[in-house]
Amino acid sequence: MANFKNKVVYQIYPKSFCDSNGDGEGDLKGITSKLDYLQDLGVELLWSTPFFPSPQRDNGYDVSDYCAVDPRFGTMEDLEELIAEAAKRNIGLMFDMVFNHTSTEHEWFQKALAGDEKYQNYYIFKEGTPDKLPTNWVSKFGGPAWEYVPSLGKWYLHLFDVTQADLNWENPEVREELKNVLRFWKAKGIQGFRFDVVNLISKPEIFEDDLIGDGRRFYTDGRHVHEFLKEMVRDADIGDMVTVGEMSSTSLSNCVRYTAPREKELSMVFSFHHLKVDYKDGDKWSLMPPDLMRLKELLTTWQEGMQAEDGWNAVFWCNHDQPRVVSRFGNEEKYWKESAKMLAAAIHLMRGTPYIYQGEEIGMTNHHYTAIDQYRDVESLNYYRILMENGKTSDEALEILAARSRDNGRTPMQWNDSHATGFTTGTPWIIPPENYRQINAAAQMEDETSIRAFYKKLIALRKELDVISDGRIEFLMRQDPRVLAYRRYTGEQELLVLCNLTGEDASVSVPAGWENATLLLHNYTSDLTNILQPYECVALLK
Ligand code: TEU
């Protein structure tokens, strides 16, 4: 099995990473041109979100051809060059497999629409009349999860956008098609795959109304999901690759099964419970300050729960669907540097494989847009309308979007302080935050105290110290609402990590036996005392 415990994965959102041809959108050649930057950082795996042909309703998560490159991102030759150039730098690629649904522009769906029953059976069609939805399930992007096709007299299921039709995994032909996609990309010499919302693939036998929720309990971690994953990994022969499943609203017990080596399913999983601690009543569109105690509890439960059963977490704060962590759980003004470093240390020293999302390593912040025409994301645009329909004013809806929009994570990578952050010579497809003149990669490259230098150190330490990549974990100071504290240990080494999650001083007592330990990492230059300063973090080794 591939070693993914001592590596750090860097996530690239190609559209916003680097534009090589001046059309305002990032592309594959742009990524290749930045490989030296990534090698210098020390990351050994790159996960790129989709660059396959797509109408781009959901920025590439609506795939119309799984085995080709969208011309807007380049050519197959560009991709092969990227793979080869990355390999020279000891960097492996992971591609994003969006197998829960296809774009409605996909050839399969088009054939289904034209009346071909073979292909209708690739999707989830239900006979009916336009006045009666098959079930009351709600789409993740708002509105009903079904769309009526008058020419067929049938509804089709779409858990996401209306242009993202859910595939019918119960059909063995569908599973075979998808295995062929994996075989195709594996043969190109990539190292791994990320599977989009892969715990939603197995739908129930009977489709019924959800009287207590939005329908997710009927298809999340569904009845055949473990079987389907096992079969896919075995038949496509990807058991030796690095695989990560994105698990929507999942449970710990399922994630143990997805990742425990004996199950032969996936290397690791993303779960999102810790990124909902600022959702009021669990609603993403209802603002509340983060509940730090809840955050600690969730991190503890998942770290310890996965460890007990030999499961493996992907550990992360940011991706292309999330607001920037320094704006969210840190302080992007007064303690920008300190809080960004503390948040990095908090997860990079945990048990699991850390993921860095482009720009996180330089402390990129939310964008703070003030007008709806600055937004691009289909979810944000839908919810702006829904929030207003539900009685919010435009200003209130914009305040919510500014905190919660997925576009916060999709602004151009801030390379330098020149035109459009150095991301493009043209007009960027989405407006960069104004702070790129201060916050950019160029400014941090030579600065040993930068956030980037701190990330670089964390990545290097994971390669050097088994206690970080492979040690056990035990949480300390569990009742303290301010300090996240844990101990990692192997037979030979021990690591103590203390992180002040707040913008206020917090007293700690360093546990007995640590007085003479080595100071491995610290985000303040002053001496360590038993008062942790705002967002102070420290790692001690013995
Ligand atoms: O996201 C899955 C998903 O459900 C969320 O992260 C979603 O964006 C959020 O819960 C809505 O509030 C994956 C991809 O990461 C995302 O970009 C795609 O839009 C989605 O699947 C559909 O493919």
CA-CA distance, 432 to 426, in Å (whole number)? 13
Pocket lining: 377 vs ligand 1, CB cutoff 6 Å: no
Low-confidence ranges of the chain (pLDDT < 70): 1-2
Whole-number pLDDT of residue 1: 56
Cα 321 to ligand 1 centre (Å): 6
Cα-Cα-Cα-Cα torsion 227, 231, 232, 234, nearest 10 degrees, comes to: 140
Which of 59, 138, 157, 160 maximizes ligand 1 atoms within 8 Å of its Cβ, making it the mutation to test the pocket?
160
Cα 462 to ligand 1 centre (Å): 29
Whole-number pLDDT of residue 509: 86
Whose CA is closest to 304, among 351, 342, 246, 354? 351
What token pair was written down for 368? 């703070």
Cα 141 to ligand 1 centre (Å): 9
Strand partners for 522: 538
Cα 457 to ligand 1 centre (Å): 31
Report, as residue numbers or ranges, the catalytic residues: 196, 246
- Please check whether residue 295 is in contact with residue 305, taking contact to mean a CB–CB distance below 8 angstroms: no
Pocket lining: 9 vs ligand 1, CB cutoff 6 Å: no
CA-CA distance, 190 to 238, in Å (whole number)? 11
- Please check whether residue 471 is in contact with residue 351, taking contact to mean a CB–CB distance below 8 angstroms: yes
Closest residue to atom 2 of ligand 1, CA basis: 197
CA pseudo-torsion sign 519, 524, 527, 529: negative
Pocket lining: 123 vs ligand 1, CB cutoff 6 Å: no
Question: Average pLDDT, whole number, for the chain?
Answer: 97
- Please check whether residue 521 is in contact with residue 458, taking contact to mean a CB–CB distance below 8 angstroms: yes
Whole-number pLDDT of residue 154: 98
> What residue has token string 């079930």?
135
Query: Roughly how many angstroms between the first and final C-alpha of the chain, as a whole number?
Result: 30
Whole-number pLDDT of residue 473: 98
User: Which burial class, exposed, middle or buried, applies to 94 when counting CB atoms under 10 A from its CB (0-12, 13-18, 19+)?
Assistant: buried
> What residue has token string 């040690």?
471
- Please check whether residue 348 is in contact with residue 342, taking contact to mean a CB–CB distance below 8 angstroms: no
Each residue's pLDDT tens digit, 44-66: 999 999 999 999 999 999 999 99
Domains of the chain: 1-97+313-369+405-464 (3.20.20.80), 107-166 (3.90.400.10), 470-541 (2.60.40.1180)
Host H or E run for residue 457: helix 451-464
Strand partners for 451: none
Q: What residues contact residue 39 under an 8 Å CB cut-off, 6+ apart?
A: 89, 90, 91
Whose CA is closest to 312, among 357, 355, 342? 355
Q: In this structure, which long-range contacts are made by residues 492-496, counting pairs with CB atoms below 8 Å and at least 24 apart in sequence?
A: 492/466, 492/467, 493/465, 493/466, 493/467, 493/541, 493/542, 494/467, 494/541, 494/542, 495/349, 495/465, 495/467, 495/468, 495/471, 495/520, 495/539, 495/540, 495/541, 496/539, 496/540, 496/541
Phi, psi of 204 (to 5 degrees): -70, 165
Amino acid at 148: Y
Pocket lining: 196 vs ligand 1, CB cutoff 6 Å: yes
Each residue's pLDDT tens digit, 513-531: 998 899 999 999 999 899 9
Each residue's pLDDT tens digit, 152-164: 999 999 999 999 9
